[in-house]
Chains A and B, each alone.
Chain A
């Protein structure tokens, strides 16, 4: 329709199309970029827009080869590329279907670098909580019993929806991952840092674009008590605006979670739930938090009676798996074979 528009006299100079000298995106691409989602919510794709005006600068320096959320290149266009033709593919989402895995493998073949972008690709993410159930249970909960993906009428077998993998998996379970940008979604500061590196000097393989230190280090709340005498849930207490949430009894995963978000949730009056993943030393984020709590909990006097009271304090923690492994279940907990229910999925550590 701009054929028509170009024939019209523009109402205002600033709105006239194709005035490339005014363009905010003067295109001198130096990086061939792909962005892809596997089992995801789209929040990672939208997160790039949080760069605001800086996004225009990034767009001027990249050539988007494939990005289903924003551009029209199709899978066949990617398949037609020679190996290594894409400089970097940022992949978000958990691996949940056979198609997710195929696409991850396709992009690995076509890309020089693969970045696990966001908590799902990094650790399995919130959809990884599905690993508490068998695949068949999930299908039954959603569709009723006896569900089988089938092709549309007149379609060939390959037209059927893809099979679910036996478990939700982080990206590294399927392909070699060069870098990680953590977060749910990654905060704008870390996205900028990532593009600076991708367009400039690359860090060593395996680099995680976040702080090496715990989130507590960047949290403005003051830590005083260093002890936990009760456990409260966020809706049960309007917290003091200045004091450490953990000191006030809220289960905040700050001590075991990487910084990099500027402590966004604690600043908003809500505890950290761990989306940036474990600090380099924490190992299993949930276990590390449990051991931190065990050392913080104090109830009454020393001795046997105190142990019992301390247990009581910790008993107030409900849904420990959902609390301590909200984002990292697939990366830290190997799916037992009894829960796998056959299929071709690979449970386990990345």
Chain B
């Protein structure tokens, strides 16, 4: 048997390697996406001060610290029975939409972008952000500059852009100054402009390309699953708050619940041959590692949010959503590479939402701390860039952490990512000669999800997916994802 190792997999957050096992005839016998890292947050969060949790858990991931920071704060709001005052809530929402904009932009240009913005035969040494900046210099420069301005917004509100410090149980650290609000308004306008420019660029320069069309529409990149994401009262995606909605692979609503109720609908699968469990929809049940309407496997993140939404929350994003639906002509959209397009539409909404929030006069209100009750138990959820993120804590009477559970975005998607890598590996192996370009296509399958492997590996006590075994049609183990 021949083994091909892609070590490490690159342009993602976290450590991973892909191992492809081939038989004597060159057919694919197995494909493994292994994550060789673990830091043990599960253990060392116990005993810490509750108010430190937004700062500790954000160190799970430095690409999406804002998501952990606020999911943690919301879990603490609930654990202390606190009502967050409007000014604090506005600060958090403005901060959060700015983060979604910035994180999606990072992936579209720096991480996933090089696969789509450069010729597919680009040498490995140039298939990266430097290559993108050379190929598209003006746009590249604008992206770098505007992203820095978005990060400045995060810093003004959060204290630091990476690993912010501002969220506390029941509110935020301090009121926002008027002059800071004015500065933020300027940055937010520029974020909206860049979003529009990225949309125009996508439709003019990228979408007409047959290569991209085939990635979007090819059968081997289509994966029917259920979808989960958070929506507001009007059914538009909301990153900070709302109801968690699940939609089946056939497009029917499965449930729409608050985070506490939704978390109760998720079960985890233990496999006797593996170390841990896999999330799936409890009501549908587990039927092995397969997609389709009879499987409990679901996906989260940009594509999932657009699939559970009725509409977008802002006008420019709505226009893009309509173009997206027209192109695919089906709902839900099951095309894995549609994650990139959905990410673009969400980036537009996040920028528009941030610009609107930046205008709100309540933003600089002085009342930023809600009254705290006795510490207890609480669940908080946000939509991280990569999908729904749940934090669940139990505190003791001193306000120290006794017990923690998290379900993070990339964990929900682990089964989907494994299936997509397998689909692509099979397609690539069929083409024979496994050169760098073809092997990169296997990596493109996981990059569509913008996975955060540090997130996926560093939480969910007792429940983190560790090894996935994929069965063939006859029920024989065919492929295993170990982490």
Contact = CB atoms under 8 A, between A and B. Distances in A.
A189 B165 CA distance: 19
Interface in A119-138: 125-127, 129-130, 132-133, 137-138
Contact of B32 (A42, A147, A159, A233): A159
Contact of A53 (B13, B144, B165, B205): B144
Contact of B39 (A130, A154, A267): A130
A22 B137 contact: yes
Interface in B148-194: 148, 151, 155, 158-163, 165-166, 168-170, 173-174
Contacts of A18: 134-135
A71 B125 contact: yes
Contacts of A137: 43
A27 B134 contact: yes
Interface stretch (B47-55, B316-324, B382-390): B47-55
Max chain A C-beta neighbours (<10 A), residue from B118, B161, B211, B276? B161
Given A24-B140, A46-B63, A4 B145 contact: no
13 contacts: A11-B205, A69-B13, A72-B10, A72-B440, A141-B40, A141-B462, A152-B482, A154-B1, A184-B163, A185-B163, A187-B160, A235-B51, A269-B159
A217 B312 CA distance: 48
Interface stretch (A93-101, A282-290, A336-344): A93-101
Given A141-B40, A273-B55, A56 B128 contact: no
Given A2-B118, A22-B137, A129-B44, A234 B30 contact: no
A15 B462 contact: no
Max chain B C-beta neighbours (<10 A), residue from A11, A42, A273? A42
Contacts of B36: 97, 99, 161-162
B43 A130 contact: yes
Given A71-B125, A162-B36, A185-B163, A52 B148 contact: yes
Given A46-B106, A72-B11, A185-B162, A141 B119 contact: no
A72 B127 contact: yes
- Enumerate the 9 nearest inter-chain pairs by beta-carbon distance, A residue then B residue, closest first: A43-B62, A268-B159, A52-B148, A269-B174, A269-B173, A14-B138, A138-B40, A1-B211, A41-B62
B42 interface: yes
A50 B39 CA distance: 25
A127 B148 contact: no
A338 to B, nearest CB: 17
Interface stretch (A73-81, A105-113, A222-230, A300-308): A73-81
Contacts of B140: 24-25
Given A1-B118, A41-B58, 12 more contacts: A4-B209, A11-B205, A24-B141, A39-B37, A52-B151, A53-B141, A69-B13, A70-B110, A153-B30, A159-B3, A319-B49, A322-B47
Given A49-B147, A154-B29, A39 B62 contact: no
A25 B134 contact: yes
A270 B62 contact: no
A17 B39 contact: no
B351 interface: no
Interface of A: 1-6, 8, 10-11, 14-15, 17-20, 22-25, 27, 37, 39-47, 49-53, 55-56, 59, 64, 68-76, 94, 96-97, 99, 125-127, 129-130, 132-133, 137-139, 141-144, 147, 150-156, 159-162, 164, 168, 184-185, 187, 233-235, 238-239, 241, 264-265, 267-270, 273, 318-319, 322-323, 326
A318 to B, nearest CB: 6
Given A22-B137, A74-B10, A147 B275 contact: yes
B434 interface: no
A152 B32 CA distance: 7
Contact of A1 (B7, B116, B275): B116
B391 interface: no
A42 B63 contact: yes
Given A1-B211, A97-B38, A144 B462 contact: yes
A253 to B, nearest CB: 13
A14 B42 contact: no
Nearest to B51: A235
A53 B140 CA distance: 10
B467 A2 contact: no
A306 to B, nearest CB: 26
Nearest to A37: B15
Nearest to A134: B43
Nearest to B173: A269
Contacts of A233: 49, 51, 399
Contacts of A96: 37-39
Max chain B C-beta neighbours (<10 A), residue from A1, A22, A47, A153? A1
A267 B166 CA distance: 11
Nearest to A234: B51
Interface string B291-330: 0000000000000000000000000000000000000000
Contacts of A51: 148
A1 B106 contact: no
B237 interface: no
Nearest to A119: B59
A161 B56 CA distance: 26
A143 B44 CA distance: 14
B477 interface: yes
A322 B38 CA distance: 20
B162 A47 contact: yes
Contacts of A70: 10-11, 110-111, 128-129
B144 A52 contact: yes
B409 interface: no
Contact of A71 (B10, B145, B462): B10
A17 B133 CA distance: 9
A268 B167 CA distance: 11
B368 A238 contact: yes
Nearest to A317: B49
A143 B274 CA distance: 10
B19 A142 contact: no
Given A71-B128, A72-B10, A184-B59, A24 B44 contact: no
Contact of B14 (A42, A130, A144, A318): A42
A23 B62 contact: no
Contact of A50 (B38, B148, B399): B148
B49 A323 contact: yes
Given A41-B60, A72-B10, A142-B462, A268 B39 contact: no
Interface in B12-40: 12-15, 19, 21, 29-30, 32, 34-40
